[in-house]
Amino acid sequence: MKKLGRLLTAMVTPFNDEGMVNYEQAKKLALALLNSGSEGLVVVGTTGESPTLIREEELRLFAEVKSAVGKQGTVIAGTGSNSTAEAVEATKQAEKIGVDACLLVVPYYNKPTQEGLYQHFKTIAQVTNLPCILYNVPSRTVTSLSADTIIRLSHVDNIIGVKEASGNLGQISQIISNTREDFLVWSGNDSDTLHILALGGYGVISVASHLVGNQIKGMIDSIINNKMDEAASIHRRLMPLINALFVVSNPIPVKYALNHIGFYVGKPRLPLTEPDEKSAALIRDTLKNYKIDLPLSTK
């Protein structure tokens, strides 16, 4: 199987002044990210405002980003849903477009049982040849995938890993210990990347990598090369930025930060808004202390 990459960016979806998807800017952003440390992109994740995109926009984003990126990096399509049938359909269509993998979030709002979750993911994985990554983010979905269910699901051939944003390092250790060697754990929280990689995790699906991709890549390389001192130095320095990027709901801060540094991605769609002045000031002040790795493109 093709390597998906240790550093994947959960890419924001750029909108124009009218609130329509700005596909040109999405392609530019994708390439800029791949030129600043990211090895692949998650398109139409929560950071990409999946809840407020329509199917047609999602599919076009997959296609346009994949065609812009070519072989320079991987494209992972967010095709999860809280309806198994919907997720099956979206995954089939993404596969037809030629994405490299899909990211399947835990069904939100309807609170399935662990057995329901197992059936849900297995059903989706069985209709596709795409590598599937599970996404456990109980802070957003209420329901959490248990370690046992993840371990059970790791026996499905094309379920190749999990994006873990539970923040539960005990659960993550258990997953790493009890799954096959090539079952990969990506950190789903920028603040947990160091810890998860130290436990034997594989990488991160990052938001902060929009701005400091090379630095996060450097941290990952340091951990792989057993230079924990170096990695910890990078991690500690990145923490204030990571905190600022989550001062209100993601992707509000990262979109504001990108606009602020001159990479235009527009406002979020309602019900998300721009940050209030206090949060905005915190983001601006924090950014001053960082080298921005993202190469800037013009509006």
Using CB under 8 A as the binding rule, whether residue 227 contacts other proteins is answered as: yes
Say if residues 61 and 25 touch (Cβ distance below 8 Å).
Answer: no
Q: Between residue 279 and residue 298, which ones bind other proteins under the rule CB under 8 A?
A: 289-291
Minimum CB separation of residue 235 from other proteins in Å reads 9
* 215 lies in the binding site for other proteins (CB under 8 A): yes
CB of 46 vs other proteins, minimal distance in Å: 29
Shortest Cβ 237–other proteins spacing (Å): 5
Q: Which is nearer to other proteins, 237 or 284 (CB)?
A: 237
Q: Is 222 in the site for other proteins (CB under 8 A)?
A: yes
The neighbouring-strand residues paired with 278 are none
Q: How many CB atoms sit inside 10 A of residue 40's CB?
A: 27
**Short-list 237, 252, 231, 248, CA closest to 286:** 237
Nearest partner of 11 among 205, 189, 284, judged by Cα: 205
Count residues binding other proteins (CB under 8 A).
12
Please state the three-class secondary structure of the chain as a single string.
Answer: CCCCCCEEEECCCCECCCCCECHHHHHHHHHHHHCCCCCEEEECCCCCCHHHCCHHHHHHHHHHHHHHHCCCCEEEEECCCCCHHHHHHHHHHHHHHCCCEEEEECCCCCCCCHHHHHHHHHHHHHCCCCCEEEEECHHHHCCCCCHHHHHHHCCCCCEEEEEECCCCHHHHHHHHHHCCCCCEEEECCHHHHHHHHHCCCCEEEECCHHHHHHHHHHHHHHHHCCCHHHHHHHHHHHHHHHHHHCCCCCCHHHHHHHHHHCCCCCCCCCCCCCCCHHHHHHHHHHHCCCCCCCCCCCC
Give least dist CB 219 to other proteins, A: 9
The window from 133-141, 158-166, 175-183, 214-222 that contacts other proteins (CB under 8 A) reads 214-222
* List 23, 135, 202, 256, catalytic entry: 135
For the CB of residue 181, give the shortest distance to other proteins in the complex, in Å.
25
Asked if 72 interacts with other proteins (CB under 8 A), we say: no
Examine the residue annotation and report whether 135 is marked as an active-site residue of this protein. Answer: yes
163 is catalytic: yes
Q: Compare residues 221 and 274 and give the one whose CB is closer to other proteins.
A: 221
Residues 218, 239, 246, 267: which binds other proteins (CB under 8 A)? 218
CB of 229 to other proteins, least distance (A): 6
Which of 180, 229, 278, 299 lies at the binding interface for other proteins (CB under 8 A)? 229
Over the window 232 to 271, marking each residue x when it contacts other proteins by CB under 8 A and - when it does not, the resulting string is -xx--x----------------------------------
User: Given the rule CB under 8 A, which of 1-9, 38-46, 121-129, 221-229 is the region that contacts other proteins?
Assistant: 221-229
Task: Give yes or no for residue 56 binding other proteins (CB under 8 A).
Answer: no
Name the site residues for other proteins (rule: CB under 8 A): 215, 218, 222, 227, 229-230, 233-234, 237, 289-291
Catalytic residues: 135, 163
